[in-house]
Amino acid sequence: MKKILLIFLTIITILLCVSCGEEKTDASKSSKTTKLSSEAETKAYKKEITIEDVEEAKPAPKNDFLSFEYDKGEAYISSYDGKDEVVNVPSVLNKLKVVSLSEYSFKEKDSMRAVKLPDTLKIIEANTFFQCHNLEIFISGNKVESIGENAFFYCTKLKNVKLNEGLKELGDYVFYGCSSLEEIYIPESVKEIGINIFFNGNKNLTIKGKSGSYAEKYAKEEKIKFEAV
């Protein structure tokens, strides 16, 4: 009888050990799967966006924009409601040529990591990209003439800005709080730069531009490093 009881207890013990082992294996697999999934999601979100990616991006859906007639045959964008990471702003909306971005039109669009403007656009008004905290890359079209005050207010991840020749004016505090901006090329055509355009930004900022340009004069006045290119 004792032998039978001993055998029975031994079998029970073995079954319990096997069961525990399977549970640990399943838990381990589940943990690894969750970890891999989390890493994949993080990697996908942090995928680097390059200038080439932005240049080649398709125009954003037109129904993501609210626009109004600015002048005969021309329109301004009042707001953007899309969720794209790379936003290539269309040159035409409602059969009207897009020439301006109104105040706060892209306000706090944290989904947006890069934006490219059309060659039709001439004016970027004040606070246009107000607190777009994840905006990293900005590419203007080739006809932008002025960028209003606080246009990139606290775009803290902005690190790559491509401004066009023909740009004439940069408003007050235009890059306020852009702490990731380490260098910027200011075109020779810029003849008016507002107050403290890099206020509360990167202390190691380098302004690049043509020797003898207004950009060089501004850099010297503000004691910002200048590099002639």
Q: Whole-angstrom Cα distance, residue 9 to residue 13?
A: 6
pLDDT of residue 225: 97
Please name which of 80, 46, 85, 75 lies closest in space to residue 63, comparing C-alpha atoms: 80
Domain ranges of the chain: 51-203
Amino acid at 5: L
Structure tokens at 89: 């702003």
pLDDT per 10-residue tile (average), the chain, 229 residues: 50 51 48 44 65 94 95 94 97 97 98 98 98 98 97 98 98 98 98 97 97 97 97
pLDDT of residue 46: 62
CATH 3.40.50.1370 is right for the domain spanning 51-203 = no
Q: Where are the beta strands (DSSP E) in 61-217?
A: 65-71, 74-80, 86-88, 92-93, 96-101, 114-116, 123-124, 137-139, 146-147, 160-162, 169-170, 183-185, 192-193, 206-209
Percent helix, strand, coil in the chain (nearest 5)? 25, 25, 50
